[in-house]
C-alpha cells in the first residue's frame, strides 16, 4: 500500500509530490493528461496567457528560469512545468493518461482505494486532490449542437494538434478571461470572428511586453524577501495595496489613481483603495472609469454600448486582463452579437440561429468557463466514512474545514478547496501554502495516523467564509465564485476572503495547536 495518492499533476500535484517524497512518504500521482502542467496542459487556445506576472507565477524555490515576457503565454508556462518536472525527477512517480474515477475510504483499514479509468484499484493511506479550481469544462447544452457541420472546441480542452483557424469563420461564445484573450489573438487570422456575448465584462490592460532582464535579476536576488511579502499580503500579489478609502479622497485623486493603475497594467487595478469591494458608491467610481475607457476605445457607439457593463459592480466577476480586446471590435472582420437582445435559439449545420438571422460559422469555440472549484472534485465518485458520497454531503453547497478537509472524509486533503483563498489570489502562493501545510501535517502525524475534520470546526469555518462574503459586495453577486454560472448548482460563495496572510496564520495556528478542529486517531 502507498502512503499517499495525489490526483492531478498540475503545479499543485507536482509540488505535493516533491514535498511528500522529501518527507519520506511513498507517493503516486495520477494525471489524466499526457504530461504535467494541469491547466496549462489543457488550456492551449490561441492567446492563452497567465494574468499573474510570470516572476510571481512561479515556484518560490526554483531558481534560474528566464521568463521572456511580463505575462507568460501558455507554451512557456507549460515548458516551465516540464522543466521543473525534469529538474525534480517527478515523472517517475506520476502515472499519466490515468483518470481517477472513484475513491472510497475504508474504515477498517483506514485507507483509500482509488479506481482508475483503466479499472486499476490503487490503495493509499492518504488521498490528496490537486485537481484544479478551473478544470471541469462547462459546455452549454444548446439545442441542435450535434447537427453543427464543423468542429467545436472548448478553450479548456483545446486539442494538442494544430487547429488552423486561417480563413475560417469562427463563432466564439463567451467573453470571460478566456474569450477576452482568444478573440484578439484570432482576429485577422480568421476570415471573420462573431462573438456571442451574454454579459459584457470589465477588463483592464495587461500591458504585457518583454521582461526586463535587469528587473528579473533584481527579483531573483530578492526572491526570499518578495516571497515573504507575497505570503503575508491579501492576495499573494506584489502589487501596491492602497491604504485609503476611495470615498475619503477627492474625485480628482481617485481618477489619478485609477489612471496610474490602468497605465501600469496588471492585476492591481482594484487594490488602490480599501473600499472598492465593500462600498457600492466607491465601486461605481472605478466601474465608471473603465466604462469611459471602453467608450473611448470602441469607435462604433452601438457596439461600445453593448460592450459596456451596466448596473454591475466591477470586480465581482473576475476582473479580466487584456491585450487590445476592446479595440478588436473596431475591425471590420469582427462582429458582436448581444445574446440579451437576440439569444441563440439553436445551432444549425451552418451556424448559430438567433431570432433574426443565422450567423454562419465554420468553427464554434466555447469560451464558456468551468464548473469552478467543486466541479472536478464532484466529477469523481468520492466516498467517505459509511460510504457517504461527497456529492450528497455537499448537496446543500460545499462545506469544508479551512478549504483543506471535509468532515466524514478522513485522510483526505483538498488543495485549494472551497473555503480557502484559492482563485481570488495568486494561485502559486496559495498552492505552496496548502502543499507545505499538508506535507508538514503528514510528516508530524506519521503514516499510521487518521485525521479528520470535526463537524463543528467545519461548520464554524464555513460560516466564517460566508460571513466574510456577506460583509462585501460579493454577497449579492452572480458569478462562478458562487456557482451561479452552472444551472442547478447550489449558490454558495466558495473562496475565503480574509486574504492569504490571515489565512496562512490561521492554518499555522491550527497546526501549532495540535491540529485543533481535527479528530486524530491512530490505526491499531
- Sequence-distant (≥ 6) Cβ neighbours of residue 256 within 8 angstroms: none
Count Cα atoms within 13 angstroms, Cβ side, for 345: 9
485 binds ligand NA7 (CB under 6 A): yes
Residue 172 to residue 190: CA distance in whole angstroms: 12
Least distance CB 108 / ligand NA7 (angstroms): 41
Which span (110-118, 177-185, 242-250, 254-262) binds ligand NA7, by CB under 6 A?
A: 177-185
SS (H, E, C) 261-310: HHHHCCHHHHHCCCCCCCCHHHHHHHHHHHHHHHHHHCCCHHHHHHHCCC
Residue 257 to residue 245: CA distance in whole angstroms: 12
Q: Which is nearer to ligand NA7, 153 or 480 (CB)?
A: 480
Considering only residues 358 to 397 of the shown chain, the ones binding ligand NA7 according to CB under 6 A are 367-369
Which of 177, 227, 279, 283 is in the footprint of ligand NA7 by CB under 6 A? 177
Residue 363 to residue 334: CA distance in whole angstroms: 15
Considering only residues 126 to 155 of the shown chain, the ones binding ligand NA7 according to CB under 6 A are 134, 140, 155
Give the three cell numbers for residue 399.
462545506
Cell 482509488 sits on residue: 114
47 binds ligand NA7 (CB under 6 A): no
206 binds ligand NA7 (CB under 6 A): no
187 binds ligand NA7 (CB under 6 A): no
Least distance CB 484 / ligand NA7 (angstroms): 8
165 binds ligand NA7 (CB under 6 A): no
Which of 13, 38, 174, 272 is in the footprint of ligand NA7 by CB under 6 A? 174
Count Cα atoms within 13 angstroms, Cβ side, for 332: 0
176 binds ligand NA7 (CB under 6 A): yes
Helix, coil or strand: residue 295: helix
Least distance CB 240 / ligand NA7 (angstroms): 22
Q: Which is nearer to ligand NA7, 202 or 515 (CB)?
A: 202
Q: Which is nearer to ligand NA7, 134 or 469 (CB)?
A: 134
Contact 35/156 with Cβ under 8 angstroms?
no
Give the three cell numbers for residue 332.
471590420
Least distance CB 179 / ligand NA7 (angstroms): 6
Residue 44 to residue 34: CA distance in whole angstroms: 14
Which span (92-100, 169-177, 308-316, 512-520) binds ligand NA7, by CB under 6 A?
A: 169-177
Q: Which is nearer to ligand NA7, 316 or 451 (CB)?
A: 316
Which of 44, 125, 192, 198 is in the footprint of ligand NA7 by CB under 6 A? 198
Which span (117-125, 167-175, 252-260, 490-498) binds ligand NA7, by CB under 6 A?
A: 167-175
178 binds ligand NA7 (CB under 6 A): yes
199 binds ligand NA7 (CB under 6 A): yes
Which of 84, 173, 270, 298 is in the footprint of ligand NA7 by CB under 6 A? 173
Q: Which is nearer to ligand NA7, 178 or 303 (CB)?
A: 178
Which residue, judged by CB position, is nearest to ligand NA7 in the bound state?
176
Give the three cell numbers for residue 169.
469563420
Q: Which is nearer to ligand NA7, 152 or 255 (CB)?
A: 152
Contact 380/101 with Cβ under 8 angstroms?
yes
- Sequence-distant (≥ 6) Cβ neighbours of residue 288 within 8 angstroms: none
Least distance CB 400 / ligand NA7 (angstroms): 20
Helix, coil or strand: residue 505: helix
Interface size with ligand NA7, residues (CB under 6 A)? 19
Q: Which is nearer to ligand NA7, 138 or 400 (CB)?
A: 138
Query: CA dist 82 to 46, 91, 506, Å?
Result: 20, 9, 33
Q: At what angle do helices 223-231 and 213-221 cross, to 10 degrees?
A: 80
Binding mask 317-336 toward ligand NA7 (x if CB under 6 A, else -) reads -x------------------
Residue 297 to residue 323: CA distance in whole angstroms: 13
Considering only residues 424 to 483 of the shown chain, the ones binding ligand NA7 according to CB under 6 A are 480
Contact 1/112 with Cβ under 8 angstroms?
no
312 binds ligand NA7 (CB under 6 A): no
Helix, coil or strand: residue 411: coil
Angle made by CA atoms 49, 487, 485, in degrees to the nearest 5: 30
Binding mask 100-129 toward ligand NA7 (x if CB under 6 A, else -) reads ------------------------------
Q: Which is nearer to ligand NA7, 207 or 339 (CB)?
A: 339
- Sequence-distant (≥ 6) Cβ neighbours of residue 239 within 8 angstroms: 266, 267, 268, 271
Binding site for ligand NA7 (CB under 6 A): 134, 140, 155, 173-179, 198-199, 318, 339, 367-369, 480, 485
Amino acid at each position: 500500500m502507498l502512503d499517499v495518492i495525489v490526483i492531478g499533476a498540475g503545479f499543485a500535484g507536482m509540488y505535493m509530490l516533491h514535498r511528500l517524497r522529501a518527507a519520506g512518504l511513498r507517493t503516486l500521482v495520477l494525471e489524466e493528461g499526457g504530461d504535467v502542467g494541469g491547466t496549462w496542459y489543457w488550456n492551449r487556445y490561441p492567446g492563452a496567457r497567465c494574468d499573474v506576472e510570470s516572476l510571481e507565477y512561479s515556484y518560490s524555490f526554483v531558481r534560474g528560469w528566464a521568463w521572456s515576457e511580463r505575462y507568460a503565454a501558455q507554451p512557456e508556462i507549460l515548458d516551465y512545468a516540464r522543466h521543473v518536472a525534469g529538474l525534480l525527477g517527478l515523472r517517475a512517480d506520476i502515472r499519466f493518461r490515468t483518470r481517477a474515477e472513484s475513491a472510497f475510504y475504508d474504515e477498517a483499514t483506514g485507507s483509500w482505494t482509488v479506481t482508475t479509468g483503466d479499472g486499476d484499484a490503487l490503495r493509499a493511506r492518504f488521498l490528496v486532490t490537486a485537481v484544479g479550481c478551473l478544470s471541469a469544462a462547462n459546455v452549454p447544452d444548446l439545442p441542435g449542437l450535434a447537427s453543427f457541420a464543423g468542429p467545436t472546441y472548448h478553450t479548456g480542452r483545446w486539442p494538442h494538434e494544430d487547429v488552423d483557424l486561417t480563413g475560417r469563420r469562427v463563432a466564439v461564445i463567451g467573453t470571460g478571461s478566456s474569450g477576452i484573450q482568444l478573440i484578439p489573438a484570432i482576429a485577422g487570422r480568421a476570415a471573420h470572428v462573431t462573438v456571442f456575448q451574454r454579459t459584457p465584462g470589465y477588463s483592464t490592460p495587461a500591458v504585457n511586453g518583454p521582461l526586463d532582464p535587469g528587473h528579473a535579476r533584481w527579483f531573483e536576488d530578492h526572491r526570499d524577501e518578495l516571497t515573504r511579502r507575497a505570503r503575508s499580503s491579501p492576495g499573494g500579489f506584489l502589487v501596491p495595496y492602497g491604504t485609503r478609502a476611495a470615498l475619503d479622497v477627492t474625485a480628482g485623486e481617485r481618477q489619478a489613481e485609477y489612471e496610474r493603475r490602468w497605465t501600469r497594467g496588471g492585476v492591481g487595478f482594484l487594490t488602490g483603495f480599501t473600499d472598492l469591494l465593500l462600498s457600492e458608491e466607491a465601486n461605481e467610481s472605478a466601474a465608471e472609469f473603465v466604462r469611459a475607457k471602453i467608450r473611448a476605445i470602441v469607435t462604433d457607439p452601438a457596439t461600445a454600448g453593448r460592450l459596456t457593463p451596466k448596473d454591475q459592480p466591477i470586480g465581482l466577476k473576475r476582473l479580466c486582463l487584456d491585450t487590445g480586446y476592446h479595440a478588436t471590435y473596431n475591425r471590420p472582420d469582427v462582429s458582436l452579437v448581444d445574446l440579451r437582445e437576440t439569444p441563440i435559439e439553436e445551432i444549425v449545420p451552418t451556424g448559430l440561429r438567433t431570432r433574426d438571422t443565422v450567423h454562419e460559422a465554420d468553427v464554434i469555440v466555447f469560451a464558456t468557463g468551468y464548473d469552478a472549484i467543486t466541479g472536478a472534485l464532484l466529477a469523481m465518485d468520492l466516498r467517505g466514512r459509511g460510504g457517504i458520497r461527497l456529492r450528497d454531503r455537499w448537496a446543500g453547497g460545499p462545506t469544508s474545514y479551512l478549504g483543506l478537509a471535509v468532515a466524514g472524509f478522513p485522510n483526505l486533503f483538498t488543495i485549494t478547496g472551497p473555503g480557502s483563498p484559492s482563485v481570488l489570489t495568486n494561485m502559486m502562493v496559495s498552492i505552496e501554502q496548502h502543499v507545505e501545510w499538508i506535507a508538514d501535517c503528514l510528516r508530524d502525524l506519521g503514516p499510521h495516523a487518521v485525521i479528520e475534520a470535526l463537524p463543528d470546526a467545519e461548520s464554524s469555518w464555513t460560516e466564517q467564509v460566508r460571513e466574510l462574503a456577506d460583509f462585501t459586495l460579493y454577497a449579492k453577486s452572480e458569478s462562478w465564485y458562487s456557482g451561479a454560472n452552472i444551472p442547478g448548482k447550489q449558490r454558495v460563495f466558495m473562496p475565503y476572503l480574509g486574504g492569504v496572510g490571515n489565512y496562512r496564520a490561521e492554518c499555522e495556528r491550527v497546526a501549532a495547536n495540535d491540529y485543533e478542529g481535527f479528530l486524530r486517531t491512530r490505526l491499531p
